[in-house]
Amino acid sequence: MAVELEVFADQIDNLLASIDRDTSLSHLQRTANQYRDVVAALERIDTGEYGICEDCDQQISPRRLSAVPQARRCVRCQERFERAAA
């Protein structure tokens, strides 16, 4: 019985460790994506394209830019992009 409990505890430990790894990896990917978006926004400032939607070439609303300064798309195109990616 004690051995079974130990094996079970080891399995739980392994499961928790794998959840931790997944969480860290997903956090790292999110942070890397945000970093890439910020760098891309800085490049668009350099080229004078900042605030222009990369899909429809329309001006991104100042309200959206103030909420998400690194936004690459207007709200409508971003929603379409996310639907297509899902």
Residue (41 or 53) nearer to Zn ion, CB: 53
Q: Which of 37, 44, 52, 55 binds Zn ion (CB under 5 A)?
A: 55
The residues, ordered by sequence, that sit 6+ positions from 50 with a Cβ below 8 Å of its Cβ are 41, 44
Query: Residue 13, class by beta-carbon neighbours within 10 Å (0-12 exposed, 13-18 middle, 19+ buried)?
Result: exposed
Residue (41 or 77) nearer to Zn ion, CB: 77
> Of all helices (H) and strands (E), which one includes residue 2?
helix 2-47
Q: Which of 26, 56, 69, 79 binds Zn ion (CB under 5 A)?
A: 56
CB of 5 to Zn ion, least distance (A): 58
Residues at the interface with Zn ion (CB under 5 A): 53, 55-56, 74, 77
